[in-house]
Structure 1
């Protein structure tokens, strides 16, 4: 399923021979166990973190601003990945032997890719929304209009990703390996999945450049402009949050998405034209690509004030602020009592002076 690309782009027949490096990968038990352990941890953190996030975003956050709509969209894709990963864990632990059929293989592969690229596009949308709100506040001032644009944007993201990944939906992604008596799922692709080398080039270009590199550049530009704007306005607290948000988003891009997409492109080029492979490195990079689903709740925390407040309440992180609030209330109470005493004292003084003044 998740071994994205072509360790061996074979001919049309499922009985084609695989190279020794590919066969060695399928027999590497230690690597399979290590990858499975990472997936188990990611699944647990994903389902807990994004389950809580979804509950807060849907039922405890109001009104539904464009940023909240984008966050809900991102959480849906993360939870879909969290539910799909257990199948990948089982596949790894069974020695790359897929026994759930071609349809399930294609469906779960689509779930993974959709999560990755919808996450990238959604993070770009959140960055654009913050850019418009802080750097260009006069644009799209009407809240209802911005909400409609956010909903339409989410639908367009899904449409774009599904169009690019359409070949994966219409191809049998399983492959029989008689030497090992296993059936792989998306770890070996048939060369006839696409009609020509040009079609493969277009497919890879769309994934790497349109769905990754372009959104990365737009997101980086937006956060740099936001930070510069806040720095010039001297809003220290807001600037610090913007910097943290930008740091987390760019961390997700550079750690989770960049290695995976760069290795995908490099491996495919080497495989198609030079009969070489980077598949082992690419396979390991898949683990890092899953981490984005664990980091997304931190993006929500810094991107939405309402979400941040609700999360602090849920996690009892408001204790310090509550203590500060109690201190402030105590000071205000003392000030009120002091003012009352002064008022009463002044009134008494005026009463005692009045008979003397009348005389």
Structure 2
């Protein structure tokens, strides 16, 4: 963070900008994530929108989650190009703000949507006697998604109203959200509010709620449920908590620590934070597994499609075998006649 253009980069940030191998490694991970993201979530969106009926609250939440993942997949190629050009952004301040907003909106909308799916499962499994009165209904699910987007956009509003590009004269590059101005926000209180909103409101609180919901579901099913249902619930809880702890927790914790160190002690953890952001994108590759274990209809439709493909391939193999069999016998017959 800096307040003027005549400044010198700290050693950690300079090392990041000059480390070509790290840049290539992060870009390679982003390329793999982009491919898996667009293929997996594109197929999931088609299945959720056109092949899954009725549109239950869980399905609506999954469509919302898939939409944020596809946005991220569309934005990552810009991040890849930016890093491969040596952290030089040449698409202007507006595009930088849009891409940065898309990146962080995906993370926090995903977190809030996973919390919503967890609450919906908690009310349906742990509180079945109150199902009609308390469980999320379709209009409420749509409204919840709109509220999620509104909350995230309000917290991240500084990213929309500030020029996030910065000319690093000593390296001859223009960065995008890698060197922040202190006057991006008016004072330290505004910075504290911004960080509190990102780390505590958009991450820590949803993480606690989601953990409580899935632990309660597992405890309920452990007492009285079928083995298959219990196993699916445990796998779903494991995947969701894995996404939180492996994808979301490192970047949010490091963001808080890095900002405090940078504002008050002149130190930096930027290299570690940049790497953690890379891993946070992996959530978009794991989300289709959440759909599989969370939705019975999604699971059945996917199995049906896979079975149809496997049956068609088996039929083609049988036809080839028959053709080969008849061809062989006809050849033998012709040879016998020739003799």
Question: What TM-score results when the alignment is normalised by the length of structure 2?
Answer: 0.89
How far off is 1:21 after superposition?
A: 2.7
Q: Aligned in 2, Cα 1:313/1:195: closer, same or farther, shift over 3 Å? A: same
How far off is 1:234 after superposition?
A: 3.1
Match for 2:16 among 25, 34, 49? 25
Are 1:52 and 2:67 matched, yes or no? no
3-state SS in 2 of match to 1:149: helix
Q: Deviations over 1:77-127 (max 9, x none)?
A: 000000000000000000000000000000010001100000000000000
Q: How does 1:220-299 map to 2 (within 5 A)?
A: 220-299=211-290
How far off is 1:19 after superposition?
A: 2.1
How far off is 1:140 after superposition?
A: 4.6
Could you tell me how far apart the structure 1 residues matched to 2:195 and 2:133 are?
39
Could you tell me how far apart the structure 2 residues matched to 1:15 and 1:136 are?
60
Q: Which residue of 2 aligns with 1:357?
A: none
Could you tell me how far apart the structure 1 residues matched to 2:253 and 2:162 are?
24
Could you tell me how far apart the structure 2 residues matched to 1:241 and 1:104 are?
42
Structure ID, larger Rg = 1
How far off is 1:136 after superposition?
A: 1.1
Could you tell me how far apart the structure 1 residues matched to 2:90 and 2:166 are?
11
Q: Which consecutive residues of structure 2, in runs of 5 or more, have no partner in the other structure?
A: 315-339
Match for 1:103 among 77, 81, 94? 94
Q: How does 1:134-213 map to 2 (within 5 A)?
A: 134-141=125-132, 146-213=137-204
Q: Is residue 171–residue 193 contact of structure 1 (8 Å, CA) maintained in 2?
A: yes
How far off is 1:318 after superposition?
A: 8.9
Q: Aligned in 2, Cα 1:185/1:249: closer, same or farther, shift over 3 Å? A: same
Q: Which residue of 1 aligns with 2:32?
A: 41
Q: Is residue 243–residue 283 contact of structure 2 (8 Å, CA) maintained in 1?
A: yes
Q: Deviations over 1:265-317 (max 9, x none)?
A: 11011111111111111111111100000000000000000100111222338
Q: Aligned in 2, Cα 1:149/1:183: closer, same or farther, shift over 3 Å? A: same
Q: Which residue of 2 aligns with 1:214?
A: 205
Q: Is residue 118–residue 161 contact of structure 1 (8 Å, CA) maintained in 2?
A: yes
Q: Which residue of 2 aligns with 1:10?
A: 2
Give the superposed CA RMSD.
1.8
How far off is 1:202 after superposition?
A: 1.1
Q: Is residue 140–residue 146 contact of structure 1 (8 Å, CA) maintained in 2?
A: no
Question: What TM-score results when the alignment is normalised by the length of structure 1?
Answer: 0.84
How far off is 1:138 after superposition?
A: 3.2
Could you tell me how far apart the structure 1 residues matched to 2:21 and 2:172 are?
19
Q: Is residue 57–residue 136 contact of structure 2 (8 Å, CA) maintained in 1?
A: no
Q: Which consecutive residues of structure 1, in runs of 5 or more, have no partner in the other structure?
A: 1-8, 324-359
Could you tell me how far apart the structure 1 residues matched to 2:136 and 2:281 are?
34
Are 1:116 and 2:111 matched, yes or no? no
Q: Count residues with an aligned counterpart.
A: 312
Q: Aligned in 2, Cα 1:145/1:227: closer, same or farther, shift over 3 Å? A: closer
3-state SS in 1 of match to 2:137: helix
